Amino acid sequence: MTENPEISIVLPCYNESEAVDSFFGRIIPVLNKLALSYEIICVNDGSKDDTLEKLIEIKKTVSQVKIVDFSKNFGKDAAMSAGLDFSRGKCVIPMDCDLQDPPELIPEMVKIWKSQNVDVVLAKREDRSDDSLAKRLTAWLFYKSFNQFSDLEIPENVGDFRLMDRKVVNVVNSFHERKRFMKGLFALAGFKSAYVGYKRPVRSGGQSKWNYWKLWNYALDGITSFSTFPLKLSTYFGLFVTLLAFLRGGWILIRTIVFGIDVPGYASLMTAILFFGGVQLLSLGIIGEYLGRIYLETKQRPLYVVKQIL
């Protein structure tokens, strides 16, 4: 392994036993054909299967592999952050192990990086026909909502698969928040970028670790990391409801003076109580999301714990 290789591949792995052999079978010929020095930083994110054992076997034949083994599962963004921390390449490419990020795209990304004087080359999914309608719809809704409500704009249909120049990686590594939304941090770093389109294939093996509940929480983390709009929305909604209550109170006062007092309905009273109770709990929940982030940040706990480096 050279001291400063040309390319660093960052590979977060969590229970990827069924996919890791296929991944290395595809990427090694691609990297060797480039005739550039490289390293592959494999971050074992507390896998419960034999992912680590397979990575160790691969390392015996591929000297460019470095294994960063976590003490437990810390999540994909923490694993990716560790890969960026340990990388030494002049450019860094984070990838998924399931081959949904095709290694064959790497030569084109490197070519654009070298020839067009850009610092970031983004791999953009131009065709998501293999995704379900619900996943395409929720992804579209997330990107639109995030870019509408946040001061930061993240490119649509662009995941973590990208090429970043070393100076971009250094900037991303300088961000120290504990609850990480890497797409936002990548966009926050800035720098000149270019795009390369591709069709996202199906997984080569294993099962996705993401379900809709995890994706929802991840999207919530992203919005609360880079936008205070939910807090503003709570304030605006509270003002709107207060205005409606004021107008309703004025109407009741005028009606009572003109027509006398009538007996209010129990059903309408309970509806109003439950509605406003729900609004208050929703507002408290939004405040709690931000307060929880502050709580976690003030503890200054490590983002990840490395058990061993191989």
Q: Which residues contact 93 (CB under 8 A, 6 or more apart)?
A: 7, 8, 9, 10, 106, 109, 161, 162, 163, 164
Q: Evaluate if pTM is beyond 0.75.
A: no
Return the half-sphere exposure (C-beta side, CA atoms, 13 A cut-off) of residue 222: 27
From edge to edge, which strands make up the β-sheet containing 7-13?
Answer: 193-199, 120-127, 158-165, 91-94, 7-13, 38-44, 65-70, 306-309
- The yes-or-no verdict on residue 266 having pLDDT over 60 is no
**Residue 53 and residue 230: Cα distance in Å, rounded?**
45
Confidence of residue 8 (pLDDT cuts 50, 70, 90): very high
- The yes-or-no verdict on residue 217 having pLDDT over 60 is yes
Number of H helices, E strands in the chain: 10, 8
- Percent pLDDT > 70 in the chain is 82
Q: Which amino acid is at 145?
A: S
Q: Which amino acid is at 229?
A: F
Minimum mean pLDDT range among 67-81, 92-106, 188-202, 244-258: 244-258
Q: Which residues of 72-111 are buried (b: 16+ CB within 10 A; e: fewer)?
A: ebbbbbbbbbbbbbbbbbbbbbbbbbbbbbbbebbeebbe
pLDDT in tens, 129-164: 666 676 667 777 777 777 777 777 777 777 788 898
Report the DSSP beta bridge partners of residue 42.
11, 67
Kind plus residue range of the DSSP H or E element containing 126: strand 120-127
